[in-house]
Amino acid sequence: MSKDNFHSNDFSSSIGFIIACVGSAVGLGNLWKFPYITYENGGGAFVLVYLLSIMLVGLPLLLSEIMIGKSGKQNVYATFKTLSNNNQFWKIVGGLALLTSFVILSYYSVVAGWTLEYFISSLGSNLKVFTSETIGDHFSSFVGNGSKQVIFHTIFMFLTGAIVYLGTQGIEKAVKVLMPLLFLFVVIIMAISLSNYGFSDSFNFLFHFDFSKLKASSILEALGHAFFTLSLGMGVMIIYGSYLPKNVNIIRASLYIMFFDTLMAIMACFMIYPIIFGTGLKMNESSSMLFTALTVQFNALPMGEYISALFYLLVAFAALTSTISLLEPIVSFISEEFKINRKKATLLSALFVWAFGILSALSNGANELLTKVSFFDKADHLASNWGLTLGGICVSIFVGYKLSSKTHLQELKIEKKSLFYSYFLTCVKFITPVFILLIILTKIGVF
Ligand code: TRP
């Protein structure tokens, strides 16, 4: 039950909740970043370290966020306020999480807009003319084209707002259509890629455990990614958790979310690696790889324009199920704290985010000043490096030291003496915060 009339309805079932969380978790992190960092860090051994990071940082934090949301049953800010008995520090933590989701959404929508444009261009065969020499310039001129950037950012924010406007039910309906399609598209592209370029190189690379290639920085990278890929540290899982129907087993739900997120990351490797290994393409460092090198590679395949169109549509779907999860915490905050109805709150939130996002949209060449201060990169750096990690460490400390073990046990529905509870408590109290602290110290440059 909601504490006031402004809090949205619960998800209709635990399946709806799980799909919505998987939708939030599966995004560019799985489709691009995981294959890329795994490649950079030498394959198999890194995958093992990543899986360990998921167990020691990802899962405990995911459980923690859902637990906070479920006990609070309000927007992120009010939840921290109530559960901490109005403590000033924890209210700031709630506010910080909201600010982070606001900033991330503003530029995520710009990138998501690129996928829409590439989808349309692929269908019209407009990308076929580019070669690996010319595609880079095409991409730069596209992101530097102010009106195109604003148009596609606007379309994407509109789609996001339209779904969130319909409340939890709208989100649930959308993810139930988008996620199975996304899964299907990944399977199709993976099959095309494997049948054109073979399976064994990719398989050997991913599952050959050569620890000699592992560096200390790989471990930190794996830790950081475990965190990012599950959408932790910014209140998204807290708000979805607040819509969790009673009697849902949150341990089981979290395990499913973790499983599907990891599965999608591994499948993305089997989608991209065969192309990389088969064509001798270099995985390049820049985030533009999805819009440059891969585009050219798709063109080389039979019916390449359709495969390319399917791929960009896939990425757009993955982004859309993430952007709705980013808008929701903001909408619930505005609606509940300012007591305005949800629909108006959605319009207002989407409008604010859209306006702020324009600054990022114009900062890749369209506007001189914004480009010079690299607004887009600054926003990304601040929110994803600082906002997420600070949010994450606070969440684990909050659950580990502020919430009582009675609350833990009640929400997890397990016995105090159970092995799982010892694992959970050891992680949230000690292991998870220490690991996140290591990530933060590395970012500051201590190591
Ligand atoms: N998990 C998303 C991915 O893997 C990215 C992400 C991080 C995210 N934090 C988020 C998405 C919060 C939505 C909400 O691509």
Nearest CA to ligand 1 atom 7: 231
Q: How far is the CA of 195 from the centre of ligand 1 (A)?
A: 30
Cα 330 to chain centroid distance, Å, stands at 16
Which residue, chain included where needed, has tokens 């949209």?
Answer: 361
Per-residue confidence (pLDDT) for residue 82, from 0 to 100: 97
Q: How far is the CA of 427 from the centre of ligand 1 (A)?
A: 22
**Phi then psi for 285, rounded to 5 degrees?**
-70, -30
Give yes or no for a contact between 333 and 77, defined as CB atoms under 8 angstroms apart: yes
Measured CA to CA, the distance from residue 325 to residue 46 in angstroms comes to 29
Measured CA to CA, the distance from residue 317 to residue 160 in angstroms comes to 11
Q: How far is the CA of 231 from the centre of ligand 1 (A)?
A: 4
Give the nearest ligand 1 atom to 322 CA.
13
Give the nearest ligand 1 atom to 326 CA.
14
Give yes or no for a contact between 29 and 229, defined as CB atoms under 8 angstroms apart: yes
From 304, 348, 314, 313, select the one nearest 330 (Cα to Cα).
Answer: 348
Measured CA to CA, the distance from residue 204 to residue 47 in angstroms comes to 12
Of 37, 175, 231, best ligand 1 pocket probe by most atoms within 8 Å of the beta carbon: 231
Per-residue confidence (pLDDT) for residue 281, from 0 to 100: 73
Q: Token digits for 313?
A: 């549509």
Nearest CA to ligand 1 atom 6: 231
Measured CA to CA, the distance from residue 333 to residue 322 in angstroms comes to 18
Q: How far is the CA of 97 from the centre of ligand 1 (A)?
A: 13
Q: Token digits for 7?
A: 């809090």
The amino acid at 57: V
What is the CB neighbour count within 10 angstroms for residue 397? Answer: 18
Per-residue confidence (pLDDT) for residue 5, from 0 to 100: 65
From 259, 308, 321, 301, select the one nearest 58 (Cα to Cα).
Answer: 259
- Per the rule left: phi > 0, alpha: psi between -120 and 50, beta: everything else, 214 is beta
Q: How far is the CA of 228 from the centre of ligand 1 (A)?
A: 6
Which residue, chain included where needed, has tokens 């050891």?
Answer: 426
**Mean pLDDT, 10 residues at a time, over the chain (447 residues)?**
69 96 96 90 94 97 97 96 97 97 96 96 92 90 97 98 97 97 96 93 93 86 92 96 93 98 97 86 70 87 92 96 97 96 97 98 96 94 90 98 96 96 98 95 84
Q: How far is the CA of 384 from the centre of ligand 1 (A)?
A: 9
pTM across the whole model: 0.94
Give the nearest ligand 1 atom to 230 CA.
1
Measured CA to CA, the distance from residue 326 to residue 100 in angstroms comes to 9
Per-residue confidence (pLDDT) for residue 215, from 0 to 100: 87
Q: How far is the CA of 122 from the centre of ligand 1 (A)?
A: 26
What is the CB neighbour count within 10 angstroms for residue 145? Answer: 15
- Per the rule left: phi > 0, alpha: psi between -120 and 50, beta: everything else, 4 is beta
Nearest CA to ligand 1 atom 10: 231
Q: How far is the CA of 353 from the centre of ligand 1 (A)?
A: 17
Q: How far is the CA of 125 from the centre of ligand 1 (A)?
A: 31
Give the nearest ligand 1 atom to 232 CA.
9
Break the chain down into helix, strand, coil percent, rounded to 5: 80, 0, 20
Kindly give, in sequence order, each residue whose CB lies less than 8 Å from that of residue 379, ignoring residues fewer than 6 positions away: 103, 106, 107, 359, 360
Give the nearest ligand 1 atom to 24 CA.
13
Kindly give, in sequence order, each residue whose CB lies less than 8 Å from that of residue 141, ignoring residues fewer than 6 positions away: 365
Of 109, 236, 320, 325, best ligand 1 pocket probe by most atoms within 8 Å of the beta carbon: 236
Give yes or no for a contact between 239 and 7, defined as CB atoms under 8 angstroms apart: no
Q: How far is the CA of 424 from the centre of ligand 1 (A)?
A: 23
CA angle 13, 323, 436 (to 5 degrees): 90
Task: Count, in order, helices (H) and strands (E) of the chain.
Answer: 23, 0
| Ligand 1 binding site (Cβ under 6 Å of any ligand atom) | 24-25, 27-30, 228-229, 231, 234, 236, 322, 325-326
Give yes or no for a contact between 153 and 110, defined as CB atoms under 8 angstroms apart: yes
Q: Token digits for 90?
A: 């924890």
Measured CA to CA, the distance from residue 122 to residue 301 in angstroms comes to 13
Measured CA to CA, the distance from residue 117 to residue 312 in angstroms comes to 9
Nearest CA to ligand 1 atom 11: 322
